[in-house]
Chains A and B, each alone.
Chain A
Amino acid sequence: MALKVENLRLCYRTLRGDVVAVDDVSFGIDDGEIMGLAGESGCGKSTLGNGLVRMDVRMAQLGGRVELDDKELPISNDKAMRPLRFAEVSIVPQYAMSALNPTRKVGKMVAELLKSRHLDYKSALPELERRVKLVGLDAEVLKRYPIELSGGMKQRLVMVISTLLNPSLLIADEVTSALDVSTQRAVGEMLLEFRDREFVKSTMVITHDLSILAQIADTILVMYAGKLAEKVSADVVINNPLHPYTQLLISSLPEVGVRHDAKTLVGIPGRPPTLLNPPTGCRFRERCPAAFDRCAEQPPFLEVKPGHSVACWLHADAALPAGGAGAALTSSGPGVSLSQAGSADTLSGPVEELSPAGAVDGSSPSGGAE
């Protein structure tokens, strides 16, 4: 496993107190895996991404551990991280267009970057030019100033530069959101191509656009208000999500072919809670149509089916033995059931081997405790 994050807590130090933007987050990314990180704005996804590369002075690590290639990644130690950035972990920042130094020609900027890593630009140049050509740009662009390039060109260049040293982990933060659909597709396919050509080992794609993730991600992690909500393969998130938040998020997306007159989509009422004094219990409770009394307690993030983890009391009782804790608790039985959840379950029956009934049967030794 290339990246392993355990119980990570990151906060912003403010005068009014600590804002815990990433709260007790654990997940892993396999070698060659593209993991999508989705959620509304202000749910901590960029904080998580930035935290793995560079913690800003306002940020602090409150706990947890990050491992990359079985070695600890000292994310809170700026000095120890310095040799690892760019070489081992690399980021394509949000608004990559403004990440290039406007006073340097692109090639010169890369040369300075490499020099800071004690590498020689001349020997790197053939590979750099090859990769620039690979993404459909002329090697000439290295002799241009950023102002002479279009947004899409800059985005592609930044991605080439970030992955130049074949990092183990690439964090792509909203790389497609400011682009046209055709460029979006090109950038999405670039991420796949970079993975296939092994320029990067694992990739974390941060975006609020689930339809892009449906195209390129292997697994999707959904965050809500600093907590993990659901993690499972991309197909299941799109077709058969378990967490009410994921279900509502998916059902609010207009698609080509869906007309307002035929089918009126609805958004999620309300907005995510402020993280300065987050509410107790499940943080989605306020907006959740399926909330019941048990939601006053924070649901654990448990694996309920093989490879499918979710933090919701509706599903906690189906937790697999490995998940443990949740299954042992007495079931108070959901008073309200979400209609969408019901239909989603019936859908999954014939298609997937992950049929809910089967999973519960399989785990009966501990699941049967109730």
Chain B
Amino acid sequence: MLTLDNVTKIFKTGTFGGGSTPAVRNASFEIRPGEVTALIGESGSGKSTLGKMILRLTPVTSGKITFEGTDVASLKGKRLREYYRHVQGVFQDPFSSYNPVFRADRVFATIKRSYFPDVSNAEWRGRVANSLESVGLNPVDVLDKFTHQLSGGQLQRILIARALLLDIKILVADEIISMLDASTRVDVLNLLSNLKTRGLGVLFITHDLSLGNYISERTIILRRGVVVEMGATEKVFDNPQHEYTKMLLTSVPQLHKKWEPGSDSELEAMLGPSDDDGRPGRYSKSSLHPLAGAHSRRSRREREAEAERQAAEGLLKTDTYLRTHEEVPPLVEVEDDHLVAISSGAG
């Protein structure tokens, strides 16, 4: 349906555009109808950039995005508008997606003006009501209201209802529930999941692995702009192959399982082992100035921690992106529908 083929995005940085930041490198995957594809990555991994490229909000540097056989980059004017009839996006912050000066239902009016100028007002009202009901909203509750009168969950659902008014085939959902309360999150998730039964393809961009796991059929793990692991969700989550995926999975806070101590050398090294010397006295504030003791004496354990920390630096480094000359690790199929990058950097 929508296919990405070796898509790369390089941002020019620096005062005179001399530097370059590759945000996405050689990403190839497809979004299939009737499936939720979860795109999981940490900040700076390029996941939103990918979403924006699919929505044509930013051009691709190289590679090709094709939708039903046509190159998306070549679309112009009328044909671009047709593209948006089929491909729509919903973004993270529902409060900044609306203009607070106007009523929230103005988003429906703009759709009508651009795409359905011939539809009569009465029929349009019926369609809007249907669409709102299909996202679990009562039209009476949300029509003619301003954004501040509605909750975040309601606003996000109105945006989804707006997308459904069009004949959409692909929905790019970029962190749509991270601003919502836990109690309403799950309802929006279930809604997305119901959409796929209508044959919609959803690209669900998130940093939260448990959410991705909950609704997706396929999962793509992105690190520093490179796809490191992708495949059927249960295969990626139950049998992670890449070190980075494993690291992410051990870091997810879970309700019924505590973080495994020491399973993550990076964090251990970051905090250092508890040392007995050099710690301030027990609540010493009154007797002794808390900052009086100089703790510069470094114990052997502290030096070890330092060395360990530097060793782990590879994963922690603030350079989020692969440098342009670095090779993009190729993906290898480890089992049916489960691809893993041959790890070079992450070990």
Interface residues of A (CB under 8 A from B): 31, 40-41, 87, 119, 123-124, 126-128, 130, 133-136, 150-151, 153, 164-166, 168, 180-186, 188-190, 193, 196-199, 201, 208-212, 214-215, 238-239, 248-250, 252-260, 264-268, 271
The answer to whether B293 and A127 touch across the interface, beta carbons within 8 angstroms, is yes
Q: Is B266 an interface residue (CB 8 A)?
A: yes
Given A180-B207, A257-B213, A260-B189, 12 new contacts (CB under 8 A)? A40-B182, A119-B291, A130-B296, A136-B270, A150-B318, A181-B42, A181-B252, A197-B280, A199-B280, A214-B256, A249-B183, A253-B210
> With contacts A134-B272, A135-B271, A259-B234 known, is A268 near B183, CB below 8 A?
yes
The residues of A that contact B185 with a CB separation of less than 8 Å are 252, 254, 267
The answer to whether A182 and B247 touch across the interface, beta carbons within 8 angstroms, is yes
The answer to whether B43 and A254 touch across the interface, beta carbons within 8 angstroms, is no
State A41–B151 Cα separation when bound (angstroms): 11
> With contacts A182-B247, A184-B253, A257-B213 known, is A130 near B278, CB below 8 A?
yes
Which of B20-28, B66-74, B118-126, B281-289 has 4 or more CB atoms under 8 Å from chain A? B281-289
Q: How far is the CB of B101 from chain A (nearest CB, A)?
A: 22
The residues of B that contact A250 with a CB separation of less than 8 Å are 255
The residues of A that contact B96 with a CB separation of less than 8 Å are none
B 136-166 binary contact with A (CB < 8 Å = 1; else 0) = 0000000000000001000000000000000
State A281–B278 Cα separation when bound (angstroms): 54
The answer to whether A256 and B209 touch across the interface, beta carbons within 8 angstroms, is yes
The residues of A that contact B252 with a CB separation of less than 8 Å are 181, 211, 256
The residues of A that contact B293 with a CB separation of less than 8 Å are 127
B 154-191 binary contact with A (CB < 8 Å = 1; else 0) = 00000000000000000000000000011111110110
The answer to whether B211 and A254 touch across the interface, beta carbons within 8 angstroms, is yes
Can you list 13 A-B contacts (CB < 8 A)? A127-B295, A135-B271, A136-B316, A185-B251, A198-B280, A211-B210, A211-B253, A238-B256, A253-B210, A255-B254, A256-B237, A267-B186, A271-B151
The answer to whether B271 and A181 touch across the interface, beta carbons within 8 angstroms, is no
Taking a contact as CB atoms closer than 8 A, the residue among A185, A208, A210, A249 that contacts B259 in the complex is A185
Question: Number of B residues contacting the other chain (C-beta, 8 Å)?
Answer: 61
The answer to whether A254 and B210 touch across the interface, beta carbons within 8 angstroms, is yes
State A210–B233 Cα separation when bound (angstroms): 24
Q: How far is the CB of A149 from chain B (nearest CB, A)?
A: 8
Q: Is B215 an interface residue (CB 8 A)?
A: yes
The answer to whether B214 and A258 touch across the interface, beta carbons within 8 angstroms, is yes
Q: Is B258 an interface residue (CB 8 A)?
A: yes
State A183–B151 Cα separation when bound (angstroms): 29
State A197–B281 Cα separation when bound (angstroms): 9
The residues of A that contact B213 with a CB separation of less than 8 Å are 254, 256-259
Taking a contact as CB atoms closer than 8 A, the residue among A212, A215, A254 that contacts B214 in the complex is A254
**Most interface-central of A123, A250, A257 (chain B CB within 10 A):** A257
Q: Is B10 an interface residue (CB 8 A)?
A: no
The residues of A that contact B215 with a CB separation of less than 8 Å are 260
The residues of B that contact A255 with a CB separation of less than 8 Å are 210, 254-256
Taking a contact as CB atoms closer than 8 A, the residue among B211, B271, B295, B316 that contacts A189 in the complex is B271
Q: Is B109 an interface residue (CB 8 A)?
A: no
Please give me the residue from chain A that is nearest to B211 by CB atom.
A254
State A165–B213 Cα separation when bound (angstroms): 42
Q: How far is the CB of A115 from chain B (nearest CB, A)?
A: 13
State A190–B259 Cα separation when bound (angstroms): 13
The residues of A that contact B282 with a CB separation of less than 8 Å are 198
Q: How far is the CB of B188 from chain A (nearest CB, A)?
A: 8
Q: How far is the CB of A87 from chain B (nearest CB, A)?
A: 8
> With contacts A134-B272, A166-B283, A181-B207 known, is A254 near B189, CB below 8 A?
yes
Q: Is B15 an interface residue (CB 8 A)?
A: no
Q: How far is the CB of B258 from chain A (nearest CB, A)?
A: 6
> With contacts A40-B181, A130-B295 known, is A252 near B186, CB below 8 A?
yes
Q: How far is the CB of A31 from chain B (nearest CB, A)?
A: 8
Q: Is B208 an interface residue (CB 8 A)?
A: yes
The residues of A that contact B208 with a CB separation of less than 8 Å are 181
Q: How far is the CB of B35 from chain A (nearest CB, A)?
A: 12
Q: How far is the CB of B147 from chain A (nearest CB, A)?
A: 15
> With contacts A197-B274, A267-B187 known, is A256 near B249, CB below 8 A?
yes
The residues of A that contact B254 with a CB separation of less than 8 Å are 211, 214-215, 255-256
State A252–B185 Cα separation when bound (angstroms): 8
Q: How far is the CB of A203 from chain B (nearest CB, A)?
A: 14
Q: Is B193 an interface residue (CB 8 A)?
A: yes
> With contacts A151-B43, A181-B209, A215-B253 known, is A254 near B285, CB below 8 A?
no
**Most interface-central of A126, A209, A215, A256 (chain B CB within 10 A):** A256
State A15–B267 Cα separation when bound (angstroms): 49
Taking a contact as CB atoms closer than 8 A, the residue among B42, B255, B272 that contacts A210 in the complex is B255
**Most interface-central of A87, A186, A190, A250 (chain B CB within 10 A):** A186
The answer to whether A180 and B43 touch across the interface, beta carbons within 8 angstroms, is yes
Q: Is B334 an interface residue (CB 8 A)?
A: no
State A282–B241 Cα separation when bound (angstroms): 50
The answer to whether B255 and A214 touch across the interface, beta carbons within 8 angstroms, is yes
Q: How far is the CB of B189 from chain A (nearest CB, A)?
A: 7
State A168–B282 Cα separation when bound (angstroms): 11
Q: Is B279 an interface residue (CB 8 A)?
A: yes
Taking a contact as CB atoms closer than 8 A, the residue among B186, B187, B214, B291 that contacts A127 in the complex is B291
